[in-house]
Amino acid sequence: MSMNKGLIASIIFAAGVFAFFVLVLPEFTSINNARAALKTRQALIEEKNAELKKVTELNKQYKIRQADIDKIIVFMPEQKRIDQIVSSIQQIASQAGLSLAEITTAGSAETGEAAGYKKMVIGFNVVGQYPSFLNFLKLLEQNLRLYDIFEIDASLTTSGADGAQNLVNFSVKLNTYYLQ
């Protein structure tokens, strides 16, 4: 019987070891793997929440700065908008007391494509008195759209049937910009 007791104890011990390796250890490994996956997913969720918080903050800043963004779009519109440029220059000229004689537009070979904008050359002639032209330049400078004058030529011209009024013909070339 003592041999039977030793044998029974060995069988029970072997069955316990077998049950541990077959039943308990795989469950233990599975639980550890699940815990590691849970930690990884929690880290991803925290990262996504942080990014979502940043996006929400940027959206708030965008809404706060909407007026500034609208001004920038006027300053440098997304398209050429030649009709707006012509009417703007015409309005400024008439407001300054000058008459717009002719206006031409052309794309520039030199662009700021690396900076994300394109340049357009505008040329026009206005006729009037010198003080009116100075007022015209001030009004052009105050305009929301960016105008960059790079050339001004002036020549004397006469007006009227008897040529009594001496006027100046100003030829102006400027750059204006728009987004690509």
- When the pLDDT of each residue in the chain is averaged and rounded to a whole number, the result is 82
Grade residue 19 by pLDDT with cuts at 50, 70 and 90.
confident
**Over the stretch 135-165, which tens digit does the pLDDT of each residue have?**
999 999 888 788 889 999 999 887 655 555 7
Q: 74-127, pLDDT tens digit by residue? A: 666 666 678 888 888 999 999 999 998 888 888 765 555 556 777 889 999 999
Question: Among residues 133, 137, 138, which one has the least CA distance to residue 168?
Answer: 133
Number of other CB atoms surrounding residue 66 within 10 Å: 10
**pLDDT > 80? residue 70:** no
pTM (2 decimals)? 0.55
The values of phi and psi at residue 78, to 5°, are -80, -20
Per the model's pLDDT, the better-predicted residue between 84 and 180 turns out to be 84
Residue 29 in domain: yes
Among 64, 95, 117, residue at a domain's last position: 64
Query: Is pLDDT of 23 > 60?
Result: yes
- Co-location of 56 and 119 in the same domain: no
Rounded Cα distance, 157 and 159, in Å: 7
| Co-location of 10 and 98 in the same domain | no
pLDDT of residue 7: 80
| CB neighbour burial string for 72-97, b if at least 16 within 10 angstroms, e if fewer | eeeebbeeebeeebeebbeebbeebe
Q: What would the DSSP string read from start to end of 83-114?
A: HHHHHHHHHHHHHHT-EEEEEEEEE-SS-BGG
Residue 145 lies in a domain: yes
- The answer to whether residues 93 and 169 belong to one domain is yes
How many domains does the chain contain in total?
2
| CB neighbours of residue 159 within 10 Å | 13
pLDDT of residue 104: 87
What residue numbers bound the domain in which 165 lies?
77-179
* Cα separation values, 62 from 26, 55, 58, 93, 153, Å: 53, 10, 6, 36, 44
**In this predicted model, what pLDDT tens digit does every residue of 43-52 receive, in sequence order?**
999 999 999 9
Q: Do 49 and 2 fall within a single domain?
A: yes
Is the residue at 136 inside a domain?
A: yes
Same domain, yes or no, for 6 and 46?
A: yes
- Counting beta carbons within 10 angstroms of the beta carbon of residue 163, is it exposed (0 to 12), middle (13 to 18) or buried (19 or more)? exposed
Tell whether 84 and 165 lie within a shared domain: yes
44 and 94 share a domain?
A: no
What's the pLDDT score for residue 171? 93
